[in-house]
Amino acid sequence: MPLQSVIDRALAETPPGRVIWVALSGGLDSSLLLSLATQACRRYPRPLHALHVHHGLQAAADDFEHHCRRLCSRLGVPLFVERVGVDPGHGLGLEGAAREARYGAFAARVASGETLWLAQHRDDQAETLLLAALRGGGVRGLAAMPAHRDWQGRGLRRPLLGVSRAELRRAAERLGLAWVEDPSNAEIHQDRNYLRHAVMPRLEARWPGAAARLARTAARAGEADALLGELAAEQLVVLGGDPARLPAADLAALSRPRQRLLVRHACERLALPLPPAARLDNLLAQLVARRDAEVRVDWLGVEARLWRGDLYLLAPQLPLASDWSREWAGASPLSGPWGPLAVALERGDGETPALVVRPRRGGERLRLAGRGRRDLKRLLQEWGLPPWRRQRLLVVWAGDAPVAVLDGFEAYWLAVAEGWRGRVA
């Protein structure tokens, strides 16, 4: 398909009336993508913007920015430049950290309903598949990069994913386009560059069209991955539909591959990090733990807990210091230990005295309407509150009397004493 038709089609599939952003690095591919998108938008008018992220990592960073400015002013496309700091100290490596910073900048600029176009092509796709296979990745990894996906309400699109690098270069030369060569692309110690310069030419020499075939494999793996997503969603409905709380016995009755699929799917639905394979197997092996046994398996960003027959997937919470306390007049919001809480509390006669909010210490007794004075500990047992939720309880005191109990994380009242009114604002 001619290149311009590829772009026209991508344009036709992008929601009309909303801004299309081209992620412009200043390299060949994204400079060409922007030029082609500009031509297409002249024929089918659409708001088109370019977005350049300045990482400040290389001496060449300013050259990239200058090139982007020149190109955009020539094409008459508004350019937005985002400056980001890259912190390689989080175990992602420099490349990973730069990528994370870049996506942070994209997210800050591109609004919900708008679309971001990226310029990866077919050879990038083949390399991504090989890198995933060399890491021992599964279907998700082998699917490499999707041609389009929803990204928190925004569209992410790669219109050039089916086009070869050679064809893009020919097109750029035909157009007399200028671009900046990224000096780091020649550094062969980087895995991707090694594949590009040392491996792919050999594969192509032995199997002409190797990159195109690998990209086809990625597309097939992508389809299989989407089907697995559908299967997992259906299975989740059968298990009650709550990704944060899965019935352990029902989960244990499934085949191990289905269990893995479902837990990963549940994490995705909750926007939690996926478990490393060994952690997941460790967790699944304990699914049939005795009902009264408490099992907890953690991985970065997640606490998985088996409690009373259910598997809970939770984001870890910072522990609450036992001496934390807050004076409060009862009006919303309450400035809680993990952030503002949209709750209000008042005495029935409207004469609310000064209140103090503290973590639960034990031994509190509340006077409940129709039930008299009750031990909070007993009440917690009665409500069947999981232990980790007990740790986030806040007790509101009026003088030396506890008058209400609040979940300090999810902002709701668990108990309010007789003569008091609690509201969720």
- Interface residues toward ligand ATP, by CB under 6 A: 23-25, 27-30, 51-53, 102, 118-120, 124, 182
Distance, first Cα to last Cα, the chain: 57
What whole-number distance in Å separates Cα of residue 131 and Cα of residue 126?
9
What whole-number distance in Å separates Cα of residue 63 and Cα of residue 177?
16
Determine contact, residues 359/394, Cβ cutoff 8 Å.
Answer: yes
What whole-number distance in Å separates Cα of residue 111 and Cα of residue 123?
30
Backbone angles phi, psi at 301, to 5 degrees: 85, 0
Q: Which residues have C-beta within 8 Å of that of residue 73, sequence separation ≥ 6?
A: 79
Annotated binding site for ATP: 25-30
Shortest distance (Å) from residue 135 CB to ligand ATP? 18
- What is each CA distance from 230 to 13, 234, 261, in whole angstroms? 23, 6, 11
The residue behind tokens 């089916």 is: 162
Residue with Cβ nearer ligand ATP (7 or 262): 7
Shortest distance (Å) from residue 25 CB to ligand ATP? 3
Residue nearest to ligand ATP (CB): 27
Shortest distance (Å) from residue 221 CB to ligand ATP? 20
Residue with Cβ nearer ligand ATP (184 or 335): 184
Shortest distance (Å) from residue 136 CB to ligand ATP? 22
Determine contact, residues 226/218, Cβ cutoff 8 Å.
Answer: no
Instruction: Count the Cβ atoms, other than its own, within 10 Å of residue 381.
Output: 10
Residue 264, CA atoms < 13 Å, CB-side half-sphere? 22
Shortest distance (Å) from residue 220 CB to ligand ATP? 23
Q: Which residues have C-beta within 8 Å of that of residue 351, sequence separation ≥ 6?
A: none
Residue with Cβ nearer ligand ATP (120 or 259): 120
Q: Which two tokens stand for residue 107?
A: 């997210």
Residue with Cβ nearer ligand ATP (14 or 25): 25
Residue with Cβ nearer ligand ATP (24 or 246): 24
Shortest distance (Å) from residue 211 CB to ligand ATP? 15
Residue with Cβ nearer ligand ATP (49 or 52): 52
Annotated binding site: 25-30
